Amino acid sequence: MKVRNALLLAAAMACAAVLAQAPAIKRVILQRGDVTADREVVLGRAEIEAGGATGRHTHFGPETGMVLEGTTVLEIDGEPPKILKAGDSYFIPAGVVHNAKAEGGTAKVIATYVVEKGKPLATPAP
């Protein structure tokens, strides 16, 4: 019984740690459509909580978008950070690791991805 309780406690602590590390981002897919037999276009809206970040990740295709509201710091590997405000647009090549942080308040972004079908929209990166 003690071993079982210890395992349950360890599992609960691991779950709490994962939730604490989860990015402070809410993504909503607005539309999807076929581009070719193996690619699709995805239009989405993302909201990053004040002080939150998307976490370093990649996509199986390019991402382009525009900040609708707030300010974000866009970090793209190999480039200096970019401060983007409402109305600013951006482009991220396929497979390039990047992260976006909300600065000074909640940030809202609309993004379009042209990605491989059947793969996740975003993949975590170290």
Sheet holding 123-124, edge to edge: 82-85, 71-76, 98-102, 57-58, 123-124
Which token pair is 43? 């239009």
Q: What is the pTM of this model?
A: 0.78
Q: Summarize pLDDT for 85-99 with one digit per residue, the tens.
A: 999 999 999 999 999
CB atoms within 10 A of CB 74: 20
Q: Summarize pLDDT for 36-77 with one digit per residue, the tens.
A: 999 999 999 999 999 999 999 999 999 999 999 999 999 999
Which token pair is 6? 């210890």
- Of the chain, the percentage scoring pLDDT greater than 70 comes to 82
For the chain, the domains span 23-124
CATH superfamily, domain at 23-124: Jelly Rolls (2.60.120.10)
- Of the chain, the percentage scoring pLDDT greater than 90 comes to 79
Question: Is residue 113 predicted with pLDDT exceeding 80?
Answer: yes
Question: Is residue 2 predicted with pLDDT exceeding 90?
Answer: no
| Amino acid identity for residue 26 in this structure | K
Sheet holding 107-116, edge to edge: 25-34, 39-48, 107-116, 63-69, 89-92
